[in-house]
Amino acid sequence: MQTFFPPQAQALVVLLMSLLLPLTKPFTVIVSDSSNQSALLDGPQSGFTMNRDGARTDAREQEAVYDIMRATGNDWATDIPDVCRGRWHGIECMPDKDNVYHVVSLSFGALSDDTAFPTCDPAKSYISKSIMKLPHLRTLFFYRCFSHNPQPIPAFLGQLSPTLQTLVLRENGHVGFIPTELGNLTRLKVLDLHKNNLNGSIPVSLGRLAELRSLDLSRNTLTGSIFSLSFPVLNVLDLSQNLLVGSIPSTLGSCHSLIKIDFSRNRLSGSIPESIGSLKELILMDLSYNRLSKPFPTSIRNLNALQALILKGNPMGSATISSEEFDGMTSLMILILSYTNLHGPIPESLGRLTNLRVIHLDGNRLNGSIPTNFKDLKNLGELRLNDNQLTGPVPFGREMVWKMRRKLKTSQ
Ligand SMILES: *[C@@H]1O[C@H](CO)[C@@H](O)[C@H](O)[C@H]1NC(C)=O
Ligand SMILES: *[C@@H]1O[C@H](CO)[C@@H](O)[C@H](O)[C@H]1NC(C)=O
Ligand SMILES: *[C@@H]1O[C@H](CO)[C@@H](O)[C@H](O)[C@H]1NC(C)=O
Ligand SMILES: *[C@@H]1O[C@H](CO)[C@@H](O)[C@H](O)[C@H]1NC(C)=O
């Protein structure tokens, strides 16, 4: 596993696993809420008495948790006299100044062997409306919960506590539209609706979520175009594997904190906006398998933090790679430009990007010879140049060829 977030992003709630494996999809896992753990943002409502059995949990919230647990087939929880004291994995509580405990986080689903949140009964689970009775909630996480009982994302989630920072509804089999009401959750930092069956377009109201750090709507069947984006602190934007059309909005360039953009496997057309060059923090950009039909913007060479550029499977307007095309991309490790209609020679300048580990230029109409300075790419472990019109020798020593073995493809 490779994690290569800059330190400021590690303070975030998101961990990206295998981000750099080009052939597998990156998987975003929410680990924990990094927000201030020492105190509640809001004070208590007032007038609490002790619960039965001397429990210290807010009585109304306790009843709400029972409802939510019942609605997911976890009736066992209703035998726990104080849910905050019971402390199963998947519930987090915090005391207020009167030492009354409030529920701040609820999580469901078998995420991994060592993250055993309560599982849902997939055939009959639903999200109980009692969730509205948790005014201090910061994190709500449902993973693989409603898959055999397909249901829309309830619009009432838009009225959840204004303290909500993380909403994850991942692989739950949700159908229908993304409720516009989610745009009311203006304190959200993480919105993850990955791998459901959501359709319709991305509601413009989500543009109001100005504090978002991670927006993952990947693997749904969303249609329509990408609205004008303005997310000043967004690090991760994953809209991959949908049916999105239209062009990439040039406002993308105003989302200065972006680290990862994945729009792969949609139907986006037009050009990569010139404004992309202002994304100085960008590490990964995957726009593969779309219908982008214009040559690279010249600003792309300004992306000097970029480690992975994946544009495979776009017509890219029959471009040549200019000699200074990727000049500033000194961090580049993965370059995947297969089947992008490139023609002309491979520029020598590519051989000077010595961090390159993976180069795929196969399935183009590149001609001329392989630049001799490719032998200086000491980190190179995978090179695909097959299905081009290249001629001349392979400029690698025996050792390099042996190292790459079957990951070196130069002929048909
Ligand atoms: C965390 O909460 C404590 C106590 O309310 C406060 O003093 C501190 O400034 C907070 N820290 C941050 C980073 O918000
Ligand atoms: C979206 O999905 C729902 C339920 O699966 C379906 O009834 C509806 O017709 C779909 N709408 C669109 C615009 O595809
Ligand atoms: C929530 O959003 C909906 C639709 O976007 C809007 O009509 C409604 O007034 C909002 N509610 C609140 C409480 O802000
Ligand atoms: C490469 O192809 C172009 C036409 O696309 C041609 O003009 C050029 O002479 C070719 N170069 C080599 C070295 O074959």
Interval 323-381: pLDDT, tens: 888 888 999 999 999 999 999 999 999 999 999 999 999 999 999 999 999 989 999 98
Whether residue 42 has its Cβ less than 6 Å from ligand 1: no
| Lowest mean pLDDT, pick from 18-32, 235-249, 306-320 | 18-32
Q: What is the pLDDT of residue 86?
A: 72
> Which atom of ligand 4 approaches the CA of 343 most closely?
5
In ligand 4, which atom is closest to the CA atom of 344?
Answer: 1
CA separation for the pair 138, 130 (Å, rounded): 15
Mean pLDDT of the region 389-397: 84
Residue 42 pLDDT more than 60?
A: no
- Exposed, middle or buried by CB within 10 Å (0-12, 13-18, 19+), for 342? buried
pLDDT, position 55: 52
Residue 28 has pLDDT above 50, yes or no: no
d(Cα 402, Cα 266) in Å, to the nearest integer? Answer: 37
Q: How confident is the model at residue 253 (pLDDT cuts 50, 70, 90)?
A: very high
Q: In testing the pocket of ligand 3, which one of 153, 181, 205, 209 has its CB within 8 Å of the most ligand atoms?
A: 181
Decide: helix, strand or coil at residue 83.
Answer: helix
- Assess whether pLDDT exceeds 50 at residue 81: yes
Return the percentage of the chain with pLDDT > 90, whole number: 67
For residue 368 and ligand 4, the question of a CB distance below 6 A is answered with yes
Q: Is the pLDDT of residue 412 over 70?
A: no
Confidence of residue 231 (pLDDT cuts 50, 70, 90): very high
- 409 pLDDT higher than 80: no
Residue 39: partners with Cβ closer than 8 Å, 6 or more residues away: 94, 96, 97
pLDDT at 20 over 90: no
Residue 34 has pLDDT above 50, yes or no: no
Report residue 123's pLDDT band, with 50, 70 and 90 as the boundaries: confident
CA 283 to chain centre: 13
Look at 28-37, 71-80, 129-138, 300-309 and tell me which has the smallest mean pLDDT: 28-37
Distance between CA atoms of residues 215 and 202, nearest Å: 11
Atom of ligand 3 at shortest range from CA of 203: 5
- How many helices (H) does the chain have, and how many strands (E)? 4, 25
Question: What is the number of other CB atoms lying within 10 angstroms of the CB of residue 47?
Answer: 5
CA-36 nearest atom, ligand 1: 1
C-alpha closest to that of 189 among 32, 37, 20:
32
Q: Is 180 near ligand 3, meaning CB less than 6 Å away?
A: yes
pLDDT above 70 covers what percent of the chain? 86
Supply the pLDDT for residue 54.
53
The pLDDT assigned to 17 comes to: 34
Q: Is the pLDDT of residue 47 over 50?
A: no
How far apart are alpha carbons 205 and 308 in whole angstroms?
Answer: 31
Distance CA 299, CA 249 (A): 15
Contact 242, 217 (CB under 8 A): yes
Question: Minimal CA–CA distance to 262: which of 287, 243, 231?
Answer: 287
The yes-or-no verdict on residue 395 having pLDDT over 90 is no
- Partners of 245 in the β-ladder: 225
Backbone torsions φ then ψ of 157, nearest 5 degrees: -60, -25
CB atoms under 10 Å from CB of 411, counted, come to 9
For ligand 3, whether the C-beta of 183 sits within 6 Å is yes
Give the number of residues written for the chain: 412
- Sign, Cα dihedral of 57, 58, 64, 68: negative
